Every structure is written in C-alpha cells, then in structure tokens.
Amino acid sequence: MPDKKAGALAADRSSLGHKVRYALRNPARVVPYASRALRDAALRIRHRGDHVSYYRAVMASDTARDPKAAVGSQSEKRWLALGQMQFDYLVGHGLSPEHRLLDIGCGNLRAGWRFIEYLDEGNYYGIDISPDILASATDVLAERSLQAKLPHLTLTRDLTFSFLPEGRFDVVHAHSVFSHSPIEVVDEALANVGRILAPKGFFDFTFDRTEGAEHHVLREDFYYRTETLVALAEKHGLAARFMDDWEELPHGQSKIRVSAE
C-alpha cells in the first residue's frame, strides 16, 4: 500500500531511475512487474486509443486470476477492511438508508455489499466497465443473501451517465477509479455528474496524488496533482474540496468531494 509521505508524493514512478531503485529494494516484484508490462504492451496494441476497452481487458485478465486482487485487495482480510473503510467514511459523512447511491466502478462489491445491506431496497446503483467483475459481483450478492434488496448493477463503457435520470443521486462514489483513468475520462465524469446529483448531493472520488510531475505507469496507474482535479471540477461548475479527514485513514489514495455550486 503506498503511503503519503513527502518522498512518495514527489516521486515520478514512470522514470527509469525510480524503477531501478524500486527494483533494488523489492527484487521479488521484478518478475511480476515485467509480466504485467508485457501484458499491457500487448493489450495497448490490441486496443490502441481506446482506454475503456484496454482497461476492460486488464480487468478480465486480473479477474480470471482472483476477483478480489482484481479490485486491489491481495487477501480476503484486506478486501473486507477496505470495504469497511469506505462504508464507515460515507456513513460518517451523512449517508442514510433512504439515500440513493451511485457506486462508479463498483467492482465485485468490496464496499458495495455493505451499502446494499444498509440502504433501503433499490437504492444502490453500481456501474462498472468490466462484465467479468460484475459477474463476480453477482456471486458476492448471492453469498451475502442480499438479493431482496434489489440493487442495480449495470455495465457501462463511459462516464456520461446518459442512461441515468437527472437529480437522482444523493451520493455518488468512485473509489480507485480515477487512479486508473486518463485525464479525459476524469473530465468526462466531472462534466456529467452534476446533472445526476440531487440538489444537496455530493460526489466523492479517490485519486493517486502527486506533488511532482503528473504521470502514469503502464497506462494503468495515474498520478494527479490536487489542484489539477479541483480546477477541472470548477471548470464544470462544481465546488471541490480536498478531504483532509480521509488522509488520516490507512489508505494510499487521497479523496476529493465535489458538489453543485
């Protein structure tokens, strides 16, 4: 799990120097990284210029090996802990059972099953670009005996939210989505989320934060400056603020909240 210390925030993980230093400190990760790099090179050629199709293929590959690892949890214990952290944070910030929640990149319901259990029937909407991880989500739904809560699970290929009604959601949530998204995908979401937010609703999203040069690693992991994302939200008429209390939690990503001005 990445930390948020000054050195980590300034690091350019795409640079050769950083990769060499990291390899020397973590020799056991060299072979897995090389394998991932080869896979990603092949997928980029196959899905040239289409990040959604490319990342859908990444998720298919990862889900086939381990659905929990595919959403960034290397163990059942960590999968449960990260889901609990997301749930506790939103409930602590006012999420109530009667609210409607849109979970962007819901994955295999790491946090989603807790939201489904807590919210009133039909109030959970989960979307994802990966049919493979959504199939895994239905397994989790059955394992947790939550079928009667009638959650909505929908496959999508963009973040225009064009199939969703205006002013519908009290809370929109995207955990570890923008950390895997190029800036044009982030821009698309921020350009359209205001339409589906309820009058007092808010949109929380996490991101991999850097205080140095913005960069990506293998077109899978993207690092943004806070001011870049705040300015992007403001361009679309949204008020944005950095969530300092999230920084206190044991999670490597940072969080921004946006709402209609």
- pLDDT tens digits, 128-137: 999 999 999 9
Report the C-alpha gap between 107 and 68 in whole angstroms: 9
Greater model confidence, 79 or 98 = 98
pLDDT higher than 80, residue 71: no
Q: How confident is the model at residue 32 (pLDDT cuts 50, 70, 90)?
A: confident
Q: How many CB atoms lie within 10 A of CB 188?
A: 15
Predicted local distance difference test score (pLDDT) of residue 153? 97
Half-sphere exposure of 15 (CA within 13 A, CB side): 9
- pTM of the entire predicted model: 0.87
Is 213:12 a contact under the CB 8 Å cutoff?
yes
Structure tokens at 80: 């449960």
Residue with tokens 């870049």: 228
Averaged pLDDT score across all residues of the chain: 90
- pLDDT tens digits, 137-171: 999 999 999 999 999 999 999 999 999 999 999 99
pLDDT higher than 80, residue 19: no
pLDDT higher than 90, residue 118: yes
Name all domains of the chain by residue range, CATH numbers in brackets.
6-260 (3.40.50.150)
**What would you measure as the largest C-alpha separation in the chain, in angstroms?**
53
Greater model confidence, 26 or 221 = 221
Identify the CA nearest to 179 among candidates 221, 219, 215, 233: 221
Which residue type does 3 have? D
